[in-house]
Structure 1
Amino acid sequence: MSIEVGSKVQGKVTGITHFGAFVELPGGSTGLVHISEVADNYVKDINEHLKVGDEVEVKILNVEKDGKIGLSIRKAKDQPPQQTTQQQRPRSNRGTDQRGGRNNSGPVGRETFEQKMARFLKDSEDRLTSLKRNTESKRGGRGAKKG
């Protein structure tokens, strides 16, 4: 069986590393499933998802000239239609916080570079003034005796 990019095949996990898992494909060739391609969510420890000897369905992502084969378990799974529409929906949370409310990160509209720079300088000066005021009062202000 020839290995073609985009095809889905069954394979057997032959080795696990901290960065991914090696999968033996039909025909005796071996490919790598990177840890980011194991599951849809963040994978901290690949051993929680795979073990040596597991039979997995993988999608062939790429075949390098030197024979390296890139594989994906998460792309081999059929995605439900609901998830695809959510993924395709553009994300625009500029000017809102995680809960959808307004935040104080700045105006929602377009700002010119000069406006952004002026706002940045003003914020920086305000923070620096506040920092100096707080640290000087704790040290006793200027001219305090050290001792």
Structure 2
Amino acid sequence: MSLKPGNIVEGKVVNITKFGAFVEVEGKIGLLHISEISNSYVKDVSEYLKENDIVKVKIVSIGEDGKISLSIKQANLEEQKKSCKPEEVDWNSKKRKTNSIDFEDTLSKFLKESEEKFKDLKNYKNLKNGTYAKKKNR
């Protein structure tokens, strides 16, 4: 298989640095940058990779100077896309969940509770203003 951007290949980790790892792919060495190792934050590359590990990587780019950029993160994403099947949905089905609360019932309950809370708030405010006004008049 020739090395082309977009291909997913297996490679062997040959060296680990602070900024990533060097991976041998089909006889050539490419850089796997620290930001392309995992979807989560990677503080230390050696927590994720060891020398001589075999990893699946995606060839992100090959520069004019021959430098190869690699990504485990993108390779995993491509694999997930291939293995993920959409769920079958029957849009014509008119079944409803029997234990779900009807929207109108939920809305009327919300309105009733809101009115009660608003009345309580208004009464509290009137009470507070009334006592404040009495103290002010004294």
- 2:2 is matched with 2
- 2:33 is matched with 34
5+ residue gaps, structure 2: 85-138
- 1:12 is matched with 12
Q: Residue type of the partner of 1:38?
A: I
- 2:127 is matched with none
Give the TM-score normalised by structure 2: 0.56
Please state how far the C-alpha of 1:13 moved relative to its aligned partner: 0.1
Q: Which has the higher contact order (CA 8 A, sep 6+)?
A: 2
Alpha-carbon separation, structure 2, partners of 1:46 and 1:23: 13
Alpha-carbon separation, structure 1, partners of 2:80 and 2:33: 19
Please state how far the C-alpha of 1:50 moved relative to its aligned partner: 0.1
Alpha-carbon separation, structure 1, partners of 2:35 and 2:75: 13
Q: Residue type of the partner of 1:52?
A: E
5+ residue gaps, structure 1: 82-147
Q: Deviations over 1:34-70 (max 9, x none)?
A: 0000001000001000000000000000000111000
- 1:21 is matched with 21
SS at match of 2:46: helix
SS at match of 1:65: coil
Q: Percent identity?
A: 54
Alpha-carbon separation, structure 2, partners of 1:20 and 1:29: 16
Alpha-carbon separation, structure 2, partners of 1:57 and 1:79: 13
Please state how far the C-alpha of 1:79 moved relative to its aligned partner: 3.0
Alpha-carbon separation, structure 2, partners of 1:79 and 1:20: 23
- 1:66 is matched with 65
Please report the RMSD computed on the Cα atoms of aligned residues, expressed in angstroms: 1.5
Give the TM-score normalised by structure 1: 0.53
Alpha-carbon separation, structure 2, partners of 1:48 and 1:17: 12
Please state how far the C-alpha of 1:2 moved relative to its aligned partner: 1.5
Q: Which has the larger radius of gyration?
A: 2
